[in-house]
Chains A and B, each alone.
Chain A
Amino acid sequence: AQSVTQLDSHVSVSEGTPVLLRCNYSSSYSPSLFWYVQHPNKGLQLLLKYTSAATLVKGINGFEAEFKKSETSFHLTKPSAHMSDAAEYFCVVRLEYGNKLVFGAGTILRVKS
């Protein structure tokens, strides 16, 4: 069955430094993968998606993720953190059949000034 594992429940970075949020997936086929962001007391917003096109996917707000099949990873990165990036981030995989998504447990990103 398809699943995702977010390797860190909390990540803390200083403003202006790089961000790395790690996600490993499990899938028996070429998956559709997503990253969503949730700011405090807000809904979930799609950051980016991978659907078997380019392995390096660019999203909104300067975020990008690289699909690595050999490592079964889909890590989210950003070169320089901004205070407004402080939020919870979810790695998500689509189930093989139908439109159901499976969400990771989430990683809370803290950005220090």
Chain B
Amino acid sequence: DAGVIQSPRHEVTEMGQEVTLRCKPISGHDYLFWYRQTMMRGLELLIYFNNNVPIDDSGMPEDRFSAKMPNASFSTLKIQPSEPRDSAVYFCASSLSGAGTYEQYFGPGTRLTVT
């Protein structure tokens, strides 16, 4: 399996612009997670989906952030408008329920820089 795929790997944008991050989970996995990692706050869970349905979005910082999962093999995280404090590494992860082990498999991340 190719693992979790994220694109782009790096994104540099100006404040106020819309940013869209993309994720393809491991085939067959039914959970998908979006995380943000910064030096100050560490690794934070933003939102997660089960069978394409958002289950918990309590970690989404504000209304500028939105996430969708239109099908089992694709998810997006959108920031509109972007701000410098959104600069971080954004990770997508997926897992398989029913396996009984609950481990998550992480993508390589998207490094976002907002100037």
Task: Give the interface of A toward B (CB within 8 A).
Answer: 32, 34, 36, 41-46, 49, 51, 90, 94, 98-101, 103, 105-106
Contact = CB atoms under 8 A, between A and B. Distances in A.
Name B's interface SS: strand
B38 interface: no
Given A99-B31, A99-B48, A105-B42, 17 more contacts: A34-B103, A43-B107, A43-B108, A44-B43, A44-B91, A44-B93, A44-B106, A46-B104, A51-B100, A90-B43, A98-B56, A99-B95, A100-B45, A100-B48, A101-B45, A101-B102, A103-B43
A30 B43 CA distance: 24
A32 B101 contact: yes
A51 B103 CA distance: 10
B104 A101 contact: yes
A97 B101 CA distance: 13
Contacts of B55: 98
A103 B42 contact: yes
Contacts of B97: 99
A101 B103 CA distance: 9
